[in-house]
Amino acid sequence: MLEKKNELEVLAKELLEKEILYQSDLEGLIGKRPFEKETTYEKYTNSTNDSSDEEEMIDKVKQEVKDEVKQEEASKD
């Protein structure tokens, strides 16, 4: 239960100083994510779509997030 205590303390101290941490801050403090799954934000920022497709892409990402939340809620039951 205490295996991530050191990382938590590092993050807490940084939050007291900055109040807001970005993904790059987290990676600098505790390293990259321990799994390969691309985040929703990464999908959005890594996209090569032009601005005419932006609304469609936003709707798609929103739906993906909703689907992920539903899956997580279903797995809790």
pLDDT tens per residue, range 8-43: 999 999 999 998 988 889 889 998 877 777 777 777
Q: Where are the domains of the chain?
A: 1-35, 37-77
Q: Which residues contact 43 (CB under 8 A, 6 or more apart)?
A: 61, 64
Give residue 56's identity as a one-letter amino acid code: E
Burial 1-29 (b: 16+ CB within 10 A, else e): eeeeeeeeeebeebeeeeeeeeeeebeee
pLDDT tens per residue, range 34-73: 777 777 777 777 776 555 677 787 888 888 889 888 888 8
Q: What's the whole-model pTM score?
A: 0.44
